[in-house]
Chain A
Amino acid sequence: MNTTFDRYAGIVFFAIGIAFVIGSLGISTSAYGSNVGANIFPMILGSFLSLMSVRLIYETFRKQRAEKSKEQLDYKRFGIIFAAAVLYAFFIEDIGFVISTFLFLMIGFQTMQRGKVWVSLLIAAGFSYGVYYLYVHVLDGSLPGFPAWLGGA
Chain B
Amino acid sequence: MSTFEYVLHGLGTAMQWHNVVFVFFGVLIGTVVGVLPGIGPMSGVALLIPITATMTAGLGAEEAATSSIILLAGVYYGAMYGGSTTSILLNTPGESSSVVTTLDGYQMAKQGRAGAALAISAIGSFAAGIISLIGLIFLARPLSAVAIKFGPAEYFSLMVLGLLAISGLAGKSMVKALIMTAFGLLLATIGIDNVSGVERFTFGVPELYQGLEFLTVAVGMFAVGEVFKTILHREGNDGELAKINRILPTKQDLKDSAAPIARGSVLGFFIGLLPGAGAILASFFAYIVEKKISKNPEKFGKGAIEGVASPESANNAASGGAMIPLLTLGIPSSGTTAILMGAFIMYNVQPGPLLFQDHPALAWGVIASMFVGNLMLLILNMPLVKIFAKVIETPTKYLIPLIIVFSVFGVYAVQYSIFDLLLIMGCGLVGYFLSKNDYPLAPLVLGLILGPMMENNMRRALTISNGDFMIFLQKPISLAFLIIGLLWITVPLILKMRGKNVLVNEEG
Tell me the complex Cα distance, A82–B400, Å: 12
Tell me what chain A mostly uses at the interface: helix, strand, loop, or mixed. helix
Interface status of B205 (Cβ within 8 A of chain A)? no
Most buried by A among B179, B200, B228, B424: B179
Q: Determine how close the nearest CB of chain B comes to the CB of A26; give it in whole angstroms.
A: 9
Q: Is A16 touching B183 in the complex (CB atoms < 8 A)?
A: yes
Contact of A34 among B198, B234, B424, B463 (CB under 8 A): B463
Q: Is A45 touching B409 in the complex (CB atoms < 8 A)?
A: no
Tell me the complex Cα distance, A1–B176, Å: 12
Tell me the complex Cα distance, A105–B231, Å: 15
B234-251 vs A, Cβ < 8 Å mask (1 yes, 0 no): 100000000000000000
Within 8 A of A (CB), among B410-434: 412-413, 416, 418, 421-422, 424-425, 429, 433-434
- In the bound complex, residues from chain B placing their C-beta under 8 Å from that of A81 are 231, 400-401, 404
Contact of A105 among B186, B200, B401, B466 (CB under 8 A): B401
Interface status of B281 (Cβ within 8 A of chain A)? no
Interface status of A75 (Cβ within 8 A of chain B)? yes
Please, how many residues of chain B have a CB less than 8 angstroms from a CB on the other chain?
Answer: 60
Tell me the complex Cα distance, A63–B139, Å: 46
Most buried by B among A31, A33, A36, A97: A36
Contact of A56 among B176, B396, B433, B459 (CB under 8 A): B176
Tell me the complex Cα distance, A81–B196, Å: 43
Q: Is B54 touching A141 in the complex (CB atoms < 8 A)?
A: yes
Q: Is B418 touching A36 in the complex (CB atoms < 8 A)?
A: no
Q: Is B424 touching A123 in the complex (CB atoms < 8 A)?
A: no
Q: Is A52 touching B175 in the complex (CB atoms < 8 A)?
A: yes
Interface status of B182 (Cβ within 8 A of chain A)? yes
Interface status of B55 (Cβ within 8 A of chain A)? yes
Q: Determine how close the nearest CB of chain B comes to the CB of A4; give it in whole angstroms.
A: 10
Interface status of B437 (Cβ within 8 A of chain A)? yes
Interface status of A85 (Cβ within 8 A of chain B)? yes
Q: Determine how close the nearest CB of chain B comes to the CB of A8; give it in whole angstroms.
A: 10
Contact of A92 among B193, B408, B459 (CB under 8 A): B408
Q: Determine how close the nearest CB of chain A comes to the CB of B44; give it in whole angstroms.
A: 17
Q: Is B55 touching A38 in the complex (CB atoms < 8 A)?
A: no
- In the bound complex, residues from chain A placing their C-beta under 8 Å from that of B55 are 139
Tell me the complex Cα distance, A135–B402, Å: 16
Interface status of A65 (Cβ within 8 A of chain B)? no
Tell me the complex Cα distance, A32–B196, Å: 7
From B432, which residue of chain A is reached at the shortest CB distance? A78
Contact of B459 among A20, A36, A86, A97 (CB under 8 A): A36
Q: Determine how close the nearest CB of chain A comes to the CB of B204; give it in whole angstroms.
A: 13
Q: Determine how close the nearest CB of chain B comes to the CB of A66; give it in whole angstroms.
A: 12
Q: Is B398 touching A9 in the complex (CB atoms < 8 A)?
A: no
- In the bound complex, residues from chain B placing their C-beta under 8 Å from that of A127 are 402, 405
What are 13 A-B contacts defined by CB distance under 8 Å?
A: A6-B437, A16-B186, A17-B182, A23-B200, A35-B463, A41-B458, A42-B200, A49-B186, A71-B233, A82-B429, A105-B402, A113-B397, A135-B51
- Seen from chain A, the residues whose Cβ lies within 8 Å of a Cβ on chain B are 1-2, 5-6, 9, 13, 16-17, 20, 23-24, 27-28, 31-38, 40-42, 45-46, 48-49, 52-53, 55-56, 59, 71, 73-75, 77-78, 81-82, 85-86, 88-90, 92-93, 97, 101, 104-105, 107-109, 112-113, 123, 127-128, 131, 135, 139-143
Can you name 16 extra interface pairs (CB under 8 A) apart from A85-B408, A104-B401?
A: A1-B172, A6-B437, A20-B201, A31-B195, A35-B462, A38-B196, A41-B454, A46-B186, A56-B175, A89-B422, A89-B424, A109-B398, A112-B400, A135-B413, A143-B412, A143-B413
The 3 closest A-B pairs by CB, nearest first: A108-B401, A31-B196, A89-B421
